[in-house]
Amino acid sequence: MKPFDELVAEAEAADVSGWGFDWLKGRASEERPPWGYSRLLAQRLAHVQSALDLDTGGGEVLDEMPHFPPLMCATEAWPPNVRKARDLLGVRGVQVVETAGDAALPFASASFELVTSRHPVHPCWAEIHRILQPGGHYFAQHVGPASAFELIEHFLGPLPEQRHQRDPQSEAEAARAAGLTVMDLRTARCRLVFQDVGAVVWILRKCVWWVPDFSTSKYQDALLALDRRMRQGDPFVAFSTRHLIEARR
């Protein structure tokens, strides 16, 4: 294994734009949920005439789809990801729209047969209901409660209240309150394994909401503790949580 300073420097210099995770190959691994979101998404896109992908990141997941409906749109709020998504998806006819925080979605009511998202930041159920056509579907994979909290709490300490956020049953209740019918709700707990400290630095730079004040200087002691553990052949294990939700207007 490379020296600590070299691992950290590599991770600090690496690109973290978009929503790809190829840089972690050989350094970290994540078990996938059993349902196969991309496969199910491709099946649904093949049978509609209009679709919108929310919080598309750099467009990497959407670009895996073999076919798009005649009207295919995507939204993204982070400017570097907007540029990357437009470069990746624009050539395939996808309209990538930049959005701002919790503002209303810039689409007319009843615009889409299908609204999708893989790991939305914060689903606004009222807006999802508004832009769906009657009989249309919302289909998404959400991040669940206490996802990767073993790693997050290594840096921030115990977060008992935050552990209850993103509860799948609460999200399903909110969807119903907005007028949607929840048709499917599945949950999964998936193993995350980090083999070196560079992988940890990189993921915390990419997922900035995990440890919002993260810097390698501020958290050097915590990083050094992880590095010592990994050099003894003990990788750091955490668990991501996911839920698949499908709802109909």
- Over residues 144-155, the pLDDT tens digits come to 999 999 999 999
Residue 154 has a pLDDT of 98
The rounded percent of the chain whose pLDDT value lies above 90 is 96
| The token pair that represents 5 in the structure block | 């300073």
- Does residue 116 carry a pLDDT above 80? yes
Architecture of domain 4-248: 3-Layer(aba) Sandwich (3.40)
- Does residue 97 carry a pLDDT above 80? yes
Collapsed DSSP state (helix, strand, coil) of residue 74: strand
Alpha-helical regions (H) of the chain = 4-13, 37-45, 60-63, 79-89, 125-131, 149-156, 168-177, 197-206, 220-231
- Asked whether 169 and 245 are in contact (CB, 8 A), the reply is no
- Does residue 168 carry a pLDDT above 80? yes
Q: Is 9 left (phi over 0), alpha (psi -120 to 50) or beta?
A: alpha
With cut-offs at 50, 70 and 90, classify the pLDDT of residue 19. confident
- Does residue 237 carry a pLDDT above 90? yes
- Does residue 135 carry a pLDDT above 80? yes
Residue 228 has a pLDDT of 97
| The token pair that represents 232 in the structure block | 């003894």
- Asked whether 65 and 116 are in contact (CB, 8 A), the reply is no
Residue 20 has a pLDDT of 81
Please state, as a whole number, how many other Cβ atoms lie within 10 Å of the Cβ of residue 80: 13
